[in-house]
Structure 1
Amino acid sequence: MIRFPARQPLPQQHLPGRSSPKRFISATAMALMLPLVACQEAKPPAAEGRPVGVTRVEAGAVASDVRLSGEIQAEKSVGLAFRINGRVTERSVNVGDRVTAGQVVARLDPTLERNELTAAQAALQAARGELNTARNTFARQDRLMTQGFTTRPRFDQALRAQETAQAAVENAEARVELARDRLAFTELRAGVSGIVTARSIEPGEVVQPGQVVITMAREEGRDAVFQVPARLLEDHAGTYRVRVALADNPAVTAAGTVREVATQADPGTRAFPVKVSLINPPEAMRLGSTVTGVLEISTPAIISIPAGALTQQGSTPAVWVVDPATSTVSLRNIDVLRFDPDRVIVVHGLEPGDLVVTAGIQALHPGQRVRQLPTPAGASAGPA
């Protein structure tokens, strides 16, 4: 057998500008491993919270301005009427006239009352004559009784006659006073100073006792009277402040306080008359002037939040509340007193200082981390 010598490996030749296969594989592996090493060394970025609008809950009085239209009326009005019946012969005042206390504003025909006074005075004179006669008779019987020249029955009869005559004189004097009063009642006088606001008589008319013929507004004070709907009063149990201004000249203003709220609605308007007592009203606010009033209605301290913060959990109203320590949200049930156009009045479920989400509530879930957006200047969840 012929044996051939083992073949020696040829020396590897390296071409200029080319790498060996081993070095090529090693470089490729390192290139692939570098990103992995970099990923292992880099820390994962912290997850940012969902941006939401947040506001801090504040407690206070909820106030709302209600604009109404009304008129100026007298705080106190007086109706003048004759005490007797008769035919009117004179009316000396008209609507708008200023009247002083004691001034005559109307008169009745006094003929009948003068005749009654004349008759009463004549009856008084006759009664006084009878009294003089009775007194003389009694004086004579008294002297005779002392001397023993008369009897006891005659003495007693003279005494009774004197007493009867005395009573007749007193009765006649009373009738004279009554006739004088009736004559004085034919003149209608104002008991207080004021301004005539209404009249219902003309000369020649016949009036009855107690029939109001002239109405006067006393000068002590003025009211602005407004017709307020029931819905504006039924939910408000607080205080009322009113700013009143003339409708044709808003620069003329006055402050006032609610003096009286009617317990029964007006049959025509179905609204409740509210009387506002004006404080130092200007002279331009005359009786009957049309005014506009801004009724500031305030309630006791409660919590209100923007309407956009309201959601619900099942069938119960709820809001998203932010935990300031962890910046996470939780859903909290609330009790709502009422729903206003842009706010919700809350009675239970929130406390002053709570952070409530007002924008971005659609995609929140319990425990989610949130990031507060900058709050616009003046924004608040407090009372409106």
Structure 2
Amino acid sequence: MSSDRPASRGILLALCLTMVLAGCREEDGTAATPELRPVRTVVVAESFAGESFTLSGTVESQIEVDLAFRIGGRLVERLVNVGDTIAPGQIIARLDPADEENALRGAEAAQIAAAAQLSEARSTYERQRQLFERDFLSQAGLERAEQQFTSAQSAFDSAEAQVGIARRRLADTVLTADAPGVVTAVGAEAGEVVTAGRRIAQLARDEGKDAVFDVPAAVVAVSPPDPEVVVTLALNPGITALGRIREVAPRADASTGTIRVRVGLIDPPDEMRLGSTVNGRVHIGGSGGIELPASALTTMDGAPAVWVVDPDSRTVSLRPVEVARFTPAAVGIDGGVAVGERVVTAGVQALRPGQEVRLLGEGS
């Protein structure tokens, strides 16, 4: 009897401990609340696939002309300098006009002499014609008078033409601008003897500005036909203008392998002065779509899927998606999610459908 009592006491003690532990477990189970799973998310936004290229270039005038004399001579005066703003008809430079003035006086004298000879020949012809009509002159005499009159008329016309040439050459000793613009370079100084066609000043006309870039041939090959180019001022990126490709050189530069591309600027700001350094950015090879971080992708029955967060309940649901393309850091999505929805990007492996989550970061 005495040996059975310690055994009975041990059994009773074990039963009591078991009941106490069971009660604690039940009490803990009713009082515990499910833990919110922390996750990181992004808001789905439309993006563009492809690649953006940025190149450096300069601002130039769409039309630059060299102003030059049509005749040669000694330059006596140049009235403009680099940076001057020119109005139409403004005088650029002058040549020494002495030779042209003398030539004009000689041509005018020859014209006066030819006019006198023409007048005399006309009078002679009229008299001979009247005599011929009265039968006092033979047919041969009338023809000689008519021939002399015709020769005098031709000599007068030639002299008149020489006067016109001499006057134009005298006018050509003064060089004027035919359009408004800005002087970008000069080519001769007063006192020099210049030949016909030598540049006296280079004028950038006020007819638009170009951003000029030397573009690698590989970029030109994959560029769309008419891309929109965003041009920013290098010293102040906040100053921007849009542009369209206006001209592409037909051949690459032999030394650099690049192709000269001129981008016409649309309403460029005044800060984009001629010669300014600019950066041009163009997006190549892209199409509209949705891109998500690669970490957002998981599987559902062996197919790609993502976890989507309900904005009201903050619970997650697994949704299949159609993947269009893969990159090392992102995936392109063709369907399954819409712009504005929130997708989990970190913690996707520890989620279950309907689980409530706590957002660690918000972004797009």
Query: Normalising to structure 1: TM-score of the pair?
Result: 0.66
CA contact (8 A) 1:124 1:176 kept: yes
**Whose helix proportion is higher, 1 or 2?**
2
Q: CA deviation at 1:56?
A: 4.7
Q: CA deviation at 1:214?
A: 0.6
Q: 1:305 to 1:157 in 2, by over 3 A?
A: farther
Q: How does 1:1-384 map to 2 (within 5 A)?
A: 53-59=40-46, 71-219=58-206, 234=222, 238-244=227-233, 247=235, 250=236, 254-260=239-245, 262-264=247-249, 267=253, 270=258, 272-281=261-270, 287-288=274-275, 290=276, 295=281, 301-309=288-296, 320-322=305-307, 327-328=317-318, 333-336=323-326, 344=330, 346=332, 348=334, 351-353=337-339, 356-360=343-347, 369=353, 371=355, 373-375=357-359, 378-380=362-364
CA contact (8 A) 1:103 1:189 kept: yes
What is the aligned length?
Answer: 344
1:334 partner SS: strand
Paired position in structure 1 for 2:313: none
* Structure 2 unaligned residues grouped into runs of 5+: 311-315
Q: CA deviation at 1:30?
A: 6.4
* Structure 1 unaligned residues grouped into runs of 5+: 1-13, 313-317
Q: CA deviation at 1:303?
A: 1.9
Q: CA deviation at 1:116?
A: 3.0
Q: CA deviation at 1:276?
A: 3.2
Q: 1:232 to 1:35 in 2, by over 3 A?
A: farther
User: 2: distance between equivalents of 1:330 and 1:46?
Assistant: 30
1:192 partner SS: coil
Q: 1:159 to 1:351 in 2, by over 3 A?
A: farther
Q: 1:242 to 1:378 in 2, by over 3 A?
A: farther
User: 1: distance between equivalents of 2:216 and 2:354?
Assistant: 45
User: 1: distance between equivalents of 2:41 and 2:362?
Assistant: 13
CA contact (8 A) 1:127 1:165 kept: yes
Q: 1:137 to 1:116 in 2, by over 3 A?
A: same
Deviation sequence 1:283-342 (CA, Å, 0-9, x none) = xx6544x45558586966322223544689xxxxx9642377983465854325xx59xx
Q: CA deviation at 1:139?
A: 0.4
Deviation sequence 1:1-56 (CA, Å, 0-9, x none) = xxxxxxxxxxxxx99xx9698x8799589669969998xx999x999998654445
Identity between Structure 1 and Structure 2 (%): 33
CA contact (8 A) 2:46 2:290 kept: yes
Q: 1:330 to 1:101 in 2, by over 3 A?
A: closer
Q: 1:20 to 1:105 in 2, by over 3 A?
A: closer
1:153 partner SS: helix
Q: CA deviation at 1:201?
A: 1.1
Q: 1:201 to 1:162 in 2, by over 3 A?
A: same
CA contact (8 A) 2:67 2:201 kept: yes
2:76 partner SS: strand
Query: Normalising to structure 2: TM-score of the pair?
Result: 0.69
Bigger CA radius of gyration: 1
CA contact (8 A) 2:79 2:93 kept: yes
User: 2: distance between equivalents of 1:371 and 1:66?
Assistant: 43
User: 2: distance between equivalents of 1:221 and 1:323?
Assistant: 51
Aligned residue identity for 1:151: S
CA contact (8 A) 2:227 2:245 kept: no
Deviation sequence 1:330-359 (CA, Å, 0-9, x none) = 5854325xx59xx64737466535765522
Q: 1:235 to 1:69 in 2, by over 3 A?
A: closer
Deviation sequence 1:239-271 (CA, Å, 0-9, x none) = 3444547x3xx59x6442215454238847737
Q: 1:266 to 1:215 in 2, by over 3 A?
A: farther
Q: 1:99 to 1:260 in 2, by over 3 A?
A: same
CA contact (8 A) 1:48 1:371 kept: no
